[in-house]
Amino acid sequence: MLKSLWSFGKLGLDSDSSNQNTDRDDAYIFPKVDPQVDGPDCLRDCADCTVQYPARFNTNNSRQLYGGIKPVTTHVLVATGKADWVRKAETEEGSLMQAFERGAFKDKKGRMMVSASNLSIDPLDDSNNNSNTTDNSTSTKPTTLLVLPSFTFVDGVIQADLPEFMDRFVNSPSPIPPPSPNPNHRLTTRPCERDYMVLLCSHRTRDARCGISAPLIKRELERHLRPLGLARDDDDSRAGGVGIAFVSHVGGHKFAANVLVYRRKEEQMIWLARVRPEHCEGIVRFTILQGKVVRPEERLRGGFDLQRGLMSW
């Protein structure tokens, strides 16, 4: 099913089609906010931000964003309990990130992106969470993987489990595989109860702008989510809401902050860039909750909509 959806092809702009009109409503896979529908303030930045970027925080604001990234069909988050990693996270000795890289595992439906994340290694013990150390003291322990867009946690994964993981959770014909009847299969799963997952690149060792922007964007997003009852920490057992995770390099750090919004029920991923604290109110109100984008000509890199069988890169 997933494969047939992705075969619909590409909507929007080709990376070499710079002369296309991006002001058209149909130029993007996701709808733009419309002042006549969303109110006259929908295009305005937040005026009461509690945080700001440093004065010398510079990004590339001239290059076209939309349609210039590689397609993604499956996104795997490797729980490390850290918010920063060695420059290339996949080279950390003994880690699952390294095992994914060395194993050359392929998503038969398309392209798999694997990111280190600050999710807790042990879902019952968050003592390692939010540590910024880059040592590999926990790299040989079993850890948890979060598979998106299926919103599935796979627990207790070690390097030897990766072939089973790929067969059951990446290359399975079912988006959410049922329990395996095979007695040799040892991996256990549980659903991710969040309605939305927001991923922020925090890879400071790779580029300082990511390490600076991610915690500030997280703080500002949570400020707008909290009054709505939607803010969720890693150890919050309540269903629903918005989870926010820090991840390793996703590409395009010159466009920091990179923000990937996964919407579970809608089966969407919306990839934003050049995000600043003053944009967070609009991201919460329109992108997370409604699947709309504020100023896509400036901030939208791409994404997919599985229910409509559309992707744009």
The single-letter code of the amino acid at 210 is C
Residue 253, C-beta contacts closer than 8 angstroms, at least 6 positions apart: 201, 203, 206, 207, 209, 210
Higher pLDDT, residue 126 or 77? 77
pLDDT computed for residue 159 by the predictor: 92
Q: Is the pLDDT of residue 116 over 60?
A: yes
For the cut 60, the answer to whether the pLDDT of residue 128 exceeds it is no
The whole-number average pLDDT for the span 134-161 is 81
Q: What pLDDT, on the 0 to 100 scale, is given for residue 26?
A: 61
Q: Where is mean pLDDT largest: 58-72, 171-185, 284-298?
A: 284-298
> Using alpha carbons only, what angle is made at residue 183 by residues 181 and 184, rounded to the nearest 5 degrees?
120
Output the CATH code of domain 2-67+194-312. Answer: 3.40.30.10
182 token code pair: 């095979």
CA distance linking residue 199 with residue 51, whole number of Å = 19
Task: Give the pLDDT of residue 289.
Answer: 98
The pLDDT confidence band at residue 25, using thresholds 50, 70 and 90, is low
Please state the rounded mean pLDDT for residues 265-271.
Answer: 96
∠ CA 71-74-79, rounded to 5° = 125
pLDDT in tens, 41-69: 999 998 888 899 988 888 878 788 887 78
* CA neighbor of 25 nearest in space, from 11, 45, 40: 11
Q: Which pLDDT band holds residue 180 (cuts at 50, 70, 90)?
A: low
Per-residue pLDDT for 111 more than 70?
Answer: yes
pLDDT confidence of residue 179: 65
Quote the Cα angle for 239-241-245, to 5°: 105
**Mean pLDDT of the 114-125 span:** 80
> How far apart, in whole angstroms, are the C-alpha atoms of residue 109 and residue 46?
40
Q: At a CB cut-off of 8 Å and minimum separation 6, what does 120 contact?
A: 79, 81, 126, 128, 129, 144, 234, 235
Give the lowest-confidence range in 140-149, 166-175, 202-211, 290-299.
Answer: 166-175
- Which pLDDT belongs to residue 181? 62
At 77, the amino acid letter reads: L
Return the domain boundaries, the chain: 2-67+194-312, 74-191
Q: Give buried/exposed letters for 243-269 (b at 16+ CB in 10 A, else e).
A: bbbbbbbbebbebbbbbbbbbbebbbb
Instruction: Give residue for tokens 């997952």.
Output: 197
Residue 221's pLDDT band (boundaries 50, 70, 90)? Answer: very high
For the cut 90, the answer to whether the pLDDT of residue 135 exceeds it is no
Confidence of residue 195 (pLDDT cuts 50, 70, 90): very high
Decide if domain 74-191 falls under CATH 3.40.30.
yes
Contact, 210 vs 253, CB < 8 A? yes
Q: What confidence score (pLDDT) does residue 166 get?
A: 93
The tens digit of pLDDT for each residue in 70-105 reads 888 899 999 999 998 989 898 888 889 999 998 878
Do 2-67+194-312 and 74-191 share a fold? yes
Task: Give me the chain's average pLDDT, please.
Answer: 84
